Amino acid sequence: MYPSRFYLIALLVFISAMALGALFFLSGMQSSSYILSDGVSLSLRYIDHPRYDRNLIGVIYALAFLAAGLLFLIVVLVPDERTLAAFRRVAAPQPRQRLAEAPVSPLRETPAPTSDAPVKAAPAPAPEEEGAAPEAVKEPPSREPAPEPEVTVDESVRQDVAEPDPQPDLPTLGGPDLSGEEDIVYGNGPVTEDSIIEFIQNHPDSAVKFLYRKNLDNRTLSPMDEDIYQKWERRGMFRAKVREFVLEIMDWDKLPDDYPHDIWLQLRDQIFELKGRAPH
């Protein structure tokens, strides 16, 4: 038996003895006293007062030694750094052997040439001409892509000037009367410039979201909004047209590279001010 195990067993026996001693002294306290009730409160009466005091002192000492033994047991059971290091060293995983490092089968080894067979001499290297410079090693061209320049919102909108051909399923301007159908939100017909202006005046928040392709809090649009904006573009609602009218309303040279919420506040206040100036 190892000495550490012997000490551990002795410590457990000591703790058990202290626990039994505390129970023994508690039973002695109960046998030497009793509790009397007068209907209002409880009072302790002694049968043998000196014996009760001795058992009380024994309980205090037994509980104190029991607590000390438990703390010492915790200190013994907690592993130290050397034990943890030895455990990690023993339990360290071994690296797996790679397939490329597997030993070659002896059946596939090339036989060594015998002394009877003639050995061909290796061709001598060609003599270098005097004064000839060694050929420089060409390095492969770098394949790293060049960093793309940052494109502002105004430049991305100006690149969207080219309008695609009208869809065949949409009615042309020379067709039947489409009163109300040119409305951007509720209509289904081709979008006109008047309807774009009316849309910007009545829905400046949606106009800014359509122009910047972002929500007012600068987050990406939801898939539902993207589908709606694609339908508007197929009807003739283009970002270039919206940009042109917004610049005309705000008297700007280009769109500021700012948060959509701030652009919406400025556009809303400008439209409200222009409506107040208009004659009724």
Of the two residues 268 and 278, the one the predictor is more confident about is 268
* pTM to 2 decimal places: 0.39
Lowest mean pLDDT among 17-21, 29-33, 56-60, 172-176: 172-176
Query: In this model, does residue 20 exceed pLDDT 90?
Result: yes
pLDDT tens-digit map of 71-99? 988 888 887 677 666 666 655 455 555 44
User: What is the radius of gyration, based on Cα positions, of the chain?
Assistant: 47
pLDDT, tens digit (0-9, with 9 covering 90-100), for 136-182:
555 555 555 555 555 566 666 665 544 444 433 433 333 334 456 77
pLDDT at 23: 92
Q: What local confidence, expressed as pLDDT, does residue 67 receive?
A: 93
Tell me the backbone φ, ψ of residue 36, rounded to 5 degrees: -115, 135
| Gap between the Cα atoms of 163 and 150, Å rounded | 24
Going from the C-alpha of 69 to that of each of 63, 73, 76, the distances in angstroms are 10, 6, 10
More confident residue, 28 or 93: 28
Q: Which of 6-15, 41-50, 171-180 has the lowest mean pLDDT?
A: 171-180
Average pLDDT over residues 112-134: 52
pLDDT score for 159: 56
Q: What is the mean pLDDT of the chain?
A: 74
Are the C-beta atoms of 210 and 242 separated by less than 8 Å? yes
Give backbone dihedrals phi and psi of 271, rounded to 5 degrees, phi first: -65, -40
d(CA 220, CA 214): 5
Residue 100: is its pLDDT beyond 70?
no
Q: What is the dihedral of CA 217, 223, 227, 232, to 10 degrees?
A: 0
